[in-house]
Amino acid sequence: MAAVTRREGKNNRVSYLIRVSDGYKQNGERIRYSKTWIPKPGWSERKTQRELHKQIFLFEDTIKSKYSQEGIIKFQHFAERFLNEYAQRQLKSKTVDGYTKLLQKINNAIGHIRLCDLKTSHLNAFYSYLHEGGMNRRTGGLLSASSIRGYHRVISSILTKAVKWGFIASNPALNAEPPKIGRREAAYLDEDDVRRLLTLLHNEPIKYRAMVSFSLLSGLRRGELLGLRWQDVDFDSETISVVQTSSYVKGRGVYVSTPKNESSVRPLKLSKSTIALLNEYKKWQDGQKVIYGIKWNLTDGRVFTSEDGVVINPDSLSRWFKCFIKKHGFPNISLHSLRHTYASILIADGTPIVVVSKRLGHAQVSTTSDIYSHLIKSADEKAAHVTDKFEDIIINK
């Protein structure tokens, strides 16, 4: 509904400010449009009011028609434009690949609906549908709340762009209600399991022992680990530089990409034992170059490769680690859990959370605090008892 403000200017000239509200922006701010209408001099009050109501009606109709014409496009067709005109140019290949996979199921459910007709209720119904049994192809069970929220993020991103491009006035996903994600503690190994893991790795091929051990001892993300080059390693200062990542997308293969965020591009000081591991591994790789000779694959000087120099597929490393964990009866963890294990070791040792965050390459310290809040609490409780060393003096017995 329009709001009208009567204003008087110089020489008592009357004008009317007409405001029309139409939905909300993503940040919750109301979307408003306005125009100024000036009645002709000499009009009576009655004629002015009659014409004013006409102007209000015409302005409201203009706002509505602006979006109804663009909003005729179906969600599926707009999603194609989103991918071609924005995502493939601005987002990482891995992200685009993830969007494309999720859109298959999204389009089956809401792809036929025109943008102007898409309601919050359609999205809530879709999320309920996803929560039904048998939706998880891998397990045949329920999709997790986290997975369903992944679908929600894709839909919301597309509709946010539809608002920005003027196809619709507001994003119906803003008021949708995907399931809430229950707080889960990051999975990690305790010190005894870390020692057992490092010991058992000595019985495995050095290429796997080096990759897994280095992951645990550095806290690198999988892509950062496999993107590391020898030119990024400074043996003298015992430091590496994280400047690129290695990813895999079906149809494109293994490719080089940029780190997750600006904070992920970072120098990282290593322990002497980690440097020793790298030296041992480098001797093995240099030996492989001699064995393969001209058949050695000339990559970009990647640190971790297969026996013939071919870059490692990130997914193949994860699969190998999963089999290794299962074979030796470790808790059900992923390769990424080694990163959490590294963080837990630092926190338990009293490393300031700011330092932990920097070493992990988190964009914000709050991210680190949220992920490892349970570990921080345990460290805080331990710290509370540090002064008990003076108990004999403080308490009179």
Structure confidence by residue, pLDDT tens digits, 250-302: 888 999 999 988 889 999 999 999 999 999 999 999 999 999 999 998 778 99
Q: Is 171 helix (H, G, I), strand (E, B) or coil?
A: coil
What's the order of all strands across the beta sheet hosting 14-24?
2-8, 14-24, 30-37
The 3-state DSSP class for residue 364 equals coil
Residues 6+ apart with CB under 8 A from 167: 67, 70, 71, 73, 78, 115
| Site of tokens 């030996």 | 287
Vertex 373: Cα angle to 370 and 377 (nearest 5): 160
What are the angstrom distances between the C-alpha of 256 and each of 21, 210, 330, 358?
47, 21, 32, 23
**Residue showing tokens 């979307």:** 31
According to DSSP, the β-strands at 266-269 and 14-24 are unpaired
List alpha helices for the chain, DSSP H: 45-70, 75-82, 88-90, 93-110, 120-130, 145-164, 191-200, 206-218, 222-227, 272-292, 314-327, 337-348, 353-360, 365-371, 373-384, 391-394
Which of 7, 44, 331, 380 has its CA nearest to residue 187?
331
Question: What are the angstrom distances between the C-alpha of 73 and each of 12, 327, 333, 345?
Answer: 48, 53, 44, 53
pTM: 0.71
Locate 127 and state its tokens. 């999320």
Walk along the chain (397 residues) and give the pLDDT tens digit of each residue. Answer: 678 898 887 777 888 898 887 665 545 567 777 888 888 888 888 888 989 888 888 887 776 665 555 567 899 999 999 999 999 999 999 999 999 999 999 999 999 999 988 999 999 999 998 887 656 776 667 788 889 999 999 999 999 999 888 888 889 999 999 988 776 778 899 999 999 999 999 999 999 999 999 999 999 999 999 999 999 999 999 999 999 999 998 888 999 999 988 889 999 999 999 999 999 999 999 999 999 999 998 778 999 999 999 999 999 999 999 999 999 999 999 999 999 999 999 998 889 999 999 999 998 998 888 888 877 777 676 766 666 665 666 676 5
DSSP code at position 329: T
